[in-house]
Amino acid sequence: KQEVTQIPAALSVPEGENLVLNCSFTDSAIYNLQWFRQDPGKGLTSLLLIQSSQREQTSGRLNASLDKSSGRSTLYIAASQPGDSATYLCARWAGGTSYGKLTFGQGTILTVHP
Amino acid sequence: SQTIHQWPATLVQPVGSPLSLECTVEGTSNPNLYWYRQAAGRGLQLLFYSVGIGQISSEVPQNLSASRPQDRQFILSSKKLLLSDSGFYLCAWMRQVVYGYTFGSGTRLTVV
């Protein structure tokens, strides 16, 4: 069974801190890994997509890495802001004949307080 | 640019009533389309996906069905809702793997 685990489940930090969110997966047959942000009651916003041939992607204060050998991805948020408060989800994409189906982790609830 | 629309945003329905949620995509052709459900305290679960008109694959046995009558239209339906159908329903599309998934804004369904 393909599983995706996110640690920690919740994180509360003061504004300005650098932080790391972790995502691990049990199946190494990974095609893509995508990080999303979800605000309360809203849909998912794509943050970063890492293809299996890549090791990392960067967008602004966000950096995501992928280590297939260890089955891990990390999302690094630099200089956190209260506006970063949201649930962060990672999703593993197996590719091949799976028609792009994503397997999601349970998410990390991030609170950045002023 | 590509956009995805879901409606309604919020829905409260009695047990045993029918359901129809609609999702449309603009700005692309022949996308893969997906319905996910996010139940309270649980992660996102894939319900259905479609790789073309009239082609529907179901991931889990359930009280729901899906249809794709047009290339960029995906509909989630039920003939009789159950309390357990409550949740947050998300539609998504993917055209090319290098660009990943794009999700709609979701529909909050409460069955009472």
Query: Could you list the pLDDT tens digit for every one of the 112 residues in chain B?
Result: 778 999 999 999 999 999 999 999 998 888 999 999 998 777 899 999 999 999 999 887 778 999 999 999 999 999 999 999 999 999 999 887 777 889 999 999 999 9
Has residue A2 got a pLDDT over 90? Answer: no
Min Cα–Cα distance to chain B from A43, Å: 4
Contact A101 B46 (CB under 8 A): yes
Contact A89 B44 (CB under 8 A): yes
CB-based contact, B100 to chain A, within 8 Å:
yes
Q: With cut-offs at 50, 70 and 90, classify the pLDDT of residue A3.
A: confident
Return the structure tokens found at A68. Answer: 């297939």
A11 in Cβ contact with A113 (< 8 Å): no
**What pLDDT score does A69 carry?**
87
**What pLDDT score does A79 carry?**
97
Average pLDDT, chain A: 90
CB-based contact, B99 to chain A, within 8 Å:
yes
**What pLDDT score does B1 carry?**
75
Closest-CA residue to A32 (of A107, A108, A102): A102
Peptide bond into B31 cis (omega under 30): no
B95 in Cβ contact with B3 (< 8 Å): no
Close Cβ partners of A20 (under 8 Å, ≥ 6 residues apart): A74, A75, A76, A77
